[in-house]
Amino acid sequence: MAAVYTCLAIMVTLETVYSFYLPGLAPVTYCEEAQVNCPSSIAVYVNRLNSIETVIPYEYHSFDFCTDVDETQSPVENLGQVVFGERIRPSKYSLTFNKNETCKTACQKVYKEENKDDVNKLNFLKKGISLNYQHHWIIDNMPLTWCYQVEGAQVYCSPGFPVGCYVTSEQRRKDACVINSLFTEKDTYYLFNHVDLLITYHPGSLEDWGSKLKGIYGRIVSAKVVPRSIKHPTKSADTACAASAPVLGLKGSTLKGELRFNYTYSVYWTQNNQIRWSSRWDYILESMPHTNIQWFSILNSLVIVVFLSGMVAMIMLRTLHKDIARYNQMDSTDDAQEEFGWKLVHGDVFRPPRKGMVLAVLVGCGSQIFFMTLITLVFACLGFLSPANRGALMTCALVLYVCLGTPSGYVSSRLYKMFGGEKWKSNVLLTALLCPGVVFGVFFVLNLVLWINGSSAAIPFTTLLALLALWFGISVPLTFVGAYFGFRRRPIEHPVRTNQIPRQIPEQSLYTRPVPGIIMGGVLPFGCIFIQLFFILTSIWSHQMYYMFGFLFLVFIILLITCSEATVLLCYFHLCAEDYHWWWRSFLTSGFTAVYLFIYCIHFYATKLEIQGAASTFLYFGYTFLIVFLFFLLTGTIGFFACFFFVTKIYSVVKVD
């Protein structure tokens, strides 16, 4: 419990928490004229740009947009935002509450053919357009959304808008190029250098907000954008940003002479009395693709999984009840009968496994991941980790993982002592360094790839030092503390004694052999998560918001149940076949679900994603390996403990001579 309290204290110090708003964010009231606690100016922040065609994001200034502002005014980013590659910076765009602006110039850009730096900047901008990079702007902590119609006359609001549109010689991009019917010239880059900002606010009232403000005031409830490509005239004109203005097309791949254009914007304010501030995210989340997907089919899948789990549990309970009754009845009779079935291996079932230290270390690290996942999902379901609180999910997961080193050391030491191990120093060091070292090593290599490509997702060296400090300064000492208490406890006592000479295992059939059993064990757990897995992978690699944490928590509980039941069922079959090597098999049976997860990620990459380039492919499979490895530890630990409690229970209720 001390570790949990420490985690909560650290989370409180990471960012300010408001007592009346679960996401940790309070509303801001704006006025036409600045007053006390009621500003009139609204800052527009820009975030890093990303694309569904590449895994490499870039900072806003990498594309030579309007960036000559004081970056010291940037908001403080938490640990999760830095790890996810978010880089929020102030912009040249400024708004005044309830004040419309028309064709306001943010900056002017000039590119000359003789200047190599200008040529490189323009070529990089064209590359961003061809790869469909997306802007991500923030107004009043709301993502600036680009809403457009999709199939079925539905409106989809994307939390980003494209840099531009590239019309190839073969086809046009669907999303970016359908904005303007004039985007028809082939092999042309159309730059969206003008944006129409459509801001909606909810007007204030004395009864609702209890304030005495003068004039018109309100709270922003939506921020939408309409990107446009405009070739502005050399001289200022009232119709410079009109709908009929010519488009700005960058022809070909070379710069000839001089290129000059402006970045402009218009602002239009609208009052809305229906949308409340507390529900201002609804129009974004409800329009996300796959959020209004067939909920009936999802629930139907969950019902099938629960039904199958109930059937497995019923069969196990009835069969075991008959076995235990028959064994105990045989012991009470005078006629000596030969033992058979799983009771026959009672003298070998608790024999320590080979490589017991490695198994204990893996289970200890899996316990740490299990508690981290469980607590994070609970916080997410309570609303603390909503999309409005950027980076909170990753921050919470990292802090919890660091602070939960104590359970990892305790579980690993208890198992290692139960296996009869004596190298306690090696056990503690491996528990504290092996699995986190694998994760950090792969993460460091991926970070090098991002750093070589100049990506904003490359974590700064100081942040890497901070992560190492959390690892060696908090996680490792807590692991030693847990191991200290684990080794001080008495070894776990088994219900039956272990024979000195191991029993010979008879010839096994195909389905009771180790490899087929392990392969079959991961099918049912994977079947209960693959639908939810599609949503998660889509939100990660298509840069969409994920907010269905309640459903995810339900799927996690079902995963816990199915992993346990599938492992216990196969363990029972193996014991009945007189195969007592269940320690490693219990861990690998449910852990094999991670292999199916990896195969599904390959399928998702091949069929759903449009990732291009060797670096992006390497990054995709690198991050996929990290996810699969952590998932392997999680599911393997669940199956191990379920099987351990099952074996301990059944051999404690039968009479053994």
The answer to whether 597 and 523 have CB atoms below 8 angstroms apart is: no
pLDDT of residue 531: 80
Is the pLDDT reported for residue 24 higher than 50? no
Cα–Cα distances in angstroms (integers) from residue 553 to residues 150, 537, 657, in the given order: 30, 16, 46
Distance CA 307, CA 316 (A): 14
Which residue has 């800052």 as its token pair?
A: 43
The answer to whether 568 and 642 have CB atoms below 8 angstroms apart is: yes
pLDDT of residue 585: 92
Rounded to 10 degrees, what is the CA torsion of 332, 335, 340, 346? 50
pLDDT of residue 255: 72
- In this structure, what token pair is assigned to residue 313? 């549990």
Expressed in angstroms, the distance from the first to the final Cα of the chain is 42
- In this structure, what token pair is assigned to residue 608? 């759903």
Residue type, 338: E
pLDDT of residue 329: 67
| Residue 57 pLDDT level (bands cut at 50, 70, 90) | very high
Is the pLDDT reported for residue 135 higher than 50? yes
Tell me the mean pLDDT in the region 422-442: 93
* H or E stretch at 202: strand 194-203
Angle formed at CA 470 by CA 469 and CA 476, multiple of 5 degrees? 95
Smallest Cα–Cα separation from 183: which of 168, 163, 162, 161? 168
pLDDT of residue 16: 37
- Strands 146-149 vs 101-112: parallel, antiparallel or unpaired: unpaired
The answer to whether 129 and 166 have CB atoms below 8 angstroms apart is: yes
The residue among 187 and 559 whose pLDDT is bigger is 559
Identify the three-state secondary structure at position 470: helix
- Which are the contacts of 204, defined by CB distance < 8 A and separation ≥ 6? 29, 211, 213, 217, 218, 219
What sign for the dihedral angle of Cα 382, 385, 389, 395? Answer: positive
pLDDT of residue 236: 59
Q: Tens digits of per-residue pLDDT, 60-97?
A: 988 989 887 776 777 888 888 888 888 899 998 989 99
pLDDT of residue 167: 80
What's the gap between Cα 628 and its chain centre?
13
Rg (CA), the chain: 30
Which residue has 């609208």 as its token pair?
A: 270
* H or E stretch at 143: strand 142-143
Average predicted confidence (pLDDT) for the chain? 83
Distance CA 148, CA 179 (A): 9
Distance CA 115, CA 113 (A): 6
pLDDT of residue 442: 96
Residue 4 φ/ψ, nearest 5 degrees: -65, -45
Smallest Cα–Cα separation from 345: which of 638, 650, 642, 569? 650
pLDDT of residue 634: 96
Among 466-475, 486-495, 515-524, the range of highest mean pLDDT: 466-475
* Poorest-pLDDT segment among 85-99, 130-144, 296-310: 296-310
- Which are the contacts of 257, defined by CB distance < 8 A and separation ≥ 6? 112, 113
The residue among 293 and 397 whose pLDDT is bigger is 397
- Which residues pair with residue 575 across a beta bridge? none
* Poorest-pLDDT segment among 74-88, 205-219, 496-510, 565-579: 205-219
| Residue 273 pLDDT level (bands cut at 50, 70, 90) | confident
Q: Tens digits of per-residue pLDDT, 582-621?
A: 899 999 999 999 999 999 999 999 998 888 889 999 999 9
- Which are the contacts of 235, defined by CB distance < 8 A and separation ≥ 6? none
Q: Give a three-class secondary structure readout of 549-597.
A: HHHHHHHHHHHHHHHHHHHHHHHHHHHHCCCCCCHHHHHHHHHCHHHHH
pLDDT of residue 618: 95
The answer to whether 30 and 430 have CB atoms below 8 angstroms apart is: no
Is the pLDDT reported for residue 27 higher than 60? yes
Would you mind telling me the total number of residues written for the chain in this entry?
657
Cα–Cα distances in angstroms (integers) from residue 97 to residues 270, 352, 456, in the given order: 11, 71, 32
The residue among 102 and 24 whose pLDDT is bigger is 102
Tell me the mean pLDDT in the region 373-384: 91
Q: Tens digits of per-residue pLDDT, 644-653?
A: 998 888 888 7
Tell me the mean pLDDT in the region 639-643: 94
Residue 186 φ/ψ, nearest 5 degrees: -75, 155
| pTM exceeding the 0.85 threshold for the entire prediction | yes
- Return the beta strands (E) in 229-317 as ranges: 249-251, 258-271
Task: Indicate left, alpha or beta for 543 from its phi (over 0: left) and psi (-120 to 50: alpha).
Answer: left
* Poorest-pLDDT segment among 232-241, 285-294, 502-511: 285-294
Distance CA 91, CA 88 (A): 10
- Which are the contacts of 250, defined by CB distance < 8 A and separation ≥ 6? 122, 126, 188, 189, 190, 191, 259
Identify the three-state secondary structure at position 64: coil
- Which are the contacts of 23, defined by CB distance < 8 A and separation ≥ 6? 383, 384, 386, 388, 389
The alpha-helical segments, DSSP class H, found in 333-403 are 356-381, 392-403
Is the pLDDT reported for residue 4 higher than 50? no
The residue among 254 and 410 whose pLDDT is bigger is 410
Distance CA 383, CA 389 (A): 10
pLDDT of residue 239: 61
Q: Tens digits of per-residue pLDDT, 521-533?
A: 888 888 888 888 8
Cα–Cα distances in angstroms (integers) from residue 26 to residues 19, 75, 200, 208, 518, in the given order: 9, 16, 18, 15, 51
Is the pLDDT reported for residue 208 higher than 70? no
Tell me the mean pLDDT in the region 111-118: 87
pLDDT of residue 23: 42
The residue among 432 and 232 whose pLDDT is bigger is 432
Q: Tens digits of per-residue pLDDT, 140-175?
A: 988 999 988 777 667 788 888 999 988 876 554 545
Residue type, 317: L
Q: Tens digits of per-residue pLDDT, 527-580?
A: 888 888 888 898 888 888 777 788 888 889 888 988 998 898 888 888 888 888
pLDDT of residue 9: 44
